[in-house]
Amino acid sequence: MPAPTMEQVVNLCKRRGFVFPGSEIYGGLGASLDYGPLGVELKRNVKDAWWRAVVTRRDDVVGLDAAIIMHPRVWEASGHIAGFTDPLVDCKACKQRFRADHVQGTVCPECGGELTAARQFNLMFKTYVGPVEDTAHVAHLRPETAQGTFVNFRNVLETSRLKLPFGIAQVGRSFRNEITPGNFLFRTREFEQMELEYFVRPGEDDHWFEHWRAERMRWYLDLGLGRERLRERPHGPDELAHYAKGCVDIEYQFPFGWSELEGIANRTDFDLRRHSEHSGKDLTYFDEERRERFLPYVIEPAAGADRSLLAFLVDAYTEEEVDGEARTVLRLHPQLAPYKAAVFPLLRKDGQPERARKIYDDLRRHFSADYDQAGSIGRRYRRQDEVGTPFGITVDHDTMRDGTVTLRERDSMTQVRVPEDRLIEELRGRIGGPNS
């Protein structure tokens, strides 16, 4: 199946209410995007699937939800004040700013004007806490969730009964003032991260690095991404972050090229050590059995929720011909699909709408579902195919007589008859429960 173009995916997102341009009635704001009614469901399903795999189903990982604005000294300790920068040049004529490594020579690629020498530009968003706008009140919006985890390491350790190895997971917004955002949801200035910090005994870090590398690749595959469009790319020594001993990216082949979905890094004891030094607090771990005290190492699988969502959309998008008619279908994994099922009365008479409504009401107590009675049944199926609804349920003449409905499957378009009172059970079997 040929991969779709970004234009096809972006159009579908706009047309069907997955993703809208941000602040659109004011002409939009660059690289700012809003999730619509279906997009918000899809994104929630992506984050829930991650949480189930990384937290709920494991006995060695707990969750956390730290504040976005943190103490200014956090970012000194983490190295973000000094090192989270891009080299930039400014055009003296048109005032545009470019990444120094993206321009050739010393003239502006937009207007031909003269460029300044490169300066380091910090990517963190700056703001002020409280009513006074002076340097003493400067704060930053977090560029990653990880630091909220490290500063809470002691709190979690003291309030839980976790022993190494164990992990602390967070899902939340982060902010980076990117100079060159783009590729739709791939790079935006605010985005959602799904990050795990997994603390291990030094010496066991290589083993756990491999464990998480395999686990995380399996997650994407289990949720339906094509094997041939996924790959691992280990970082060379020259591109490793200052804190990392090793890093591998999981990349997806987007229409704009192979790009990172997730990085799995061995952060060593860098962060806990720095926060110990800067806060003056002891962040060591005491191993009761071995009577040893040490700083744990950290393995960090850090995924982007928006990027994953974009990969799932691109991978699921299919245009095909069925009986001489074009059909657009999103072959989303049922667990990710915004609606699990849609209910249709075949006719808008003979009590069919009322019967279908009742089935829809029952269904929504278990799954997100949609109801549609407008237009031909063929058109209604197509509308649901396009947003990835895996199952269609049709109430027809026979339903009124024998209590069975038609259950249509999105991908194969095959139809079977199922007794109304077995519908929930049947769907649960096919979709898998929330914890399957």
Q: Give the E-state strand segments of 31-118 in sequence order.
A: 33-35, 61-63, 85-90, 97-99
Site string for Zn ion, 99-138 (x = CB under 5 A): ---------x-xx-x-------------------------
Residues 6+ apart with CB under 8 A from 327: 319, 320, 321, 382, 385
Is 393 one of the binding residues for Zn ion (CB under 5 A)?
no
Structure tokens that stand for 376 in this block? 């031909």
Q: Contact region for Zn ion (CB under 5 A) — 90-98, 117-125, 137-145, 267-275?
A: 90-98
Task: Note whether 216 and 250 are within 8 A (CB).
Answer: yes
Q: Contact region for Zn ion (CB under 5 A) — 42-50, 52-60, 84-92, 206-214?
A: 84-92
Kindly tell me which of 93 and 244 has the beta carbon lying closer to Zn ion.
93
Find the shortest distance in angstroms from Cβ 121 to Zn ion.
Answer: 17
> How far apart are the C-alpha atoms of 106 and 356, rounded to whole Å?
68
DSSP 129-181: SSS--SGGGEEEB-S-SHHHHHHTHHHHHHHS---SSEEEEEEEEEE---SS-
Task: Note whether 170 and 64 are within 8 A (CB).
Answer: yes
Task: Report the residue from 94, 214, 221, 241 that binds Zn ion according to the rule CB under 5 A.
Answer: 94
> How far apart are the C-alpha atoms of 265 and 174, rounded to whole Å?
18
Kindly tell me which of 29 and 111 has the beta carbon lying closer to Zn ion.
111
Is 322 one of the binding residues for Zn ion (CB under 5 A)?
no
Site string for Zn ion, 341-380 (x = CB under 5 A): ----------------------------------------
Is 63 one of the binding residues for Zn ion (CB under 5 A)?
no
> How far apart are the C-alpha atoms of 303 and 262, rounded to whole Å?
4
Find the shortest distance in angstroms from Cβ 90 to Zn ion.
Answer: 9
Find the shortest distance in angstroms from Cβ 116 to Zn ion.
Answer: 11
For residue 252, the one-letter residue type is: Y
Find the shortest distance in angstroms from Cβ 107 to Zn ion.
Answer: 8
Is 88 one of the binding residues for Zn ion (CB under 5 A)?
no
Burial status of residue 100 (CB atoms within 10 A of its CB: 0-12, 13-18, 19 or more): middle
Kindly tell me which of 36 and 113 has the beta carbon lying closer to Zn ion.
113
Find the shortest distance in angstroms from Cβ 180 to Zn ion.
Answer: 15
Task: Note whether 54 and 381 are within 8 A (CB).
Answer: no
Find the shortest distance in angstroms from Cβ 95 to Zn ion.
Answer: 7
Task: Note whether 331 and 236 are within 8 A (CB).
Answer: no
Task: Note whether 33 and 184 are within 8 A (CB).
Answer: yes
Find the shortest distance in angstroms from Cβ 100 to Zn ion.
Answer: 15
Task: Report the residue from 19, 91, 168, 250 that binds Zn ion according to the rule CB under 5 A.
Answer: 91
Is 239 one of the binding residues for Zn ion (CB under 5 A)?
no
Sites of contact with Zn ion (CB under 5 A): 91, 93-94, 108, 110-111, 113
